[in-house]
Amino acid sequence: MPEPGTRDLRHAREMRREVMDELRAYGSPLSDYAAAELIVGELISNAFKHAGGVVQAEIAWGRGVATFHVTDAGGPFQPRRGRPELPHSRGGWGLFLVSKLATEFEVDHIPATGNHVRAVLPVHRN
């Protein structure tokens, strides 16, 4: 029998792989795919870890760049602004890095629905 949450972890990895495949298929070879993968992986894994349930991910191409959207059914949250206090603190680094690597990053809570997280990725359309 798999460990609790194993199915979610596998699904999160598969979702990240599919998103990155699409980015590489349509993005410019000069794009920062390492940063994009960190952003995509962090946002997907956070949604599964903290919200559970249904997680949806989508890429939208506009203004020549990729915007990554993640929605979940979790409760409201706001990412901490600024870096975590201690260099070895256990939490808060992922969204801090996302906020630094994404061109734009925002979180909106939609009452009775969940959260919508939006990040403009450093990936330009080919």
Q: Dmax over Cα atoms in the chain, in whole Å?
A: 47
- Report the chain's C-alpha Rg in angstroms: 15
Which of 3.30.70.20, 3.30.565.10, 3.40.50.2300, 1.20.210.10 would CATH assign to domain 6-124?
3.30.565.10
Domain boundaries, the chain: 6-124
Span 3-11, mean pLDDT? 63
Q: What is the pLDDT of residue 89?
A: 65
Interhelix angle 33-46/93-101, nearest 10 degrees:
140
Q: What pTM value is reported for the model?
A: 0.87
pLDDT tens digits along 57-91: 999 999 999 999 999 988 887 777 666 666 666 66
pLDDT tens digits along 87-124: 666 667 889 899 999 999 999 998 988 999 999 999 99
Q: Check whether 21 has a pLDDT greater than 70.
A: yes
* Per-residue CA distances from 63 to 21, 120, 123 (Å): 20, 11, 11
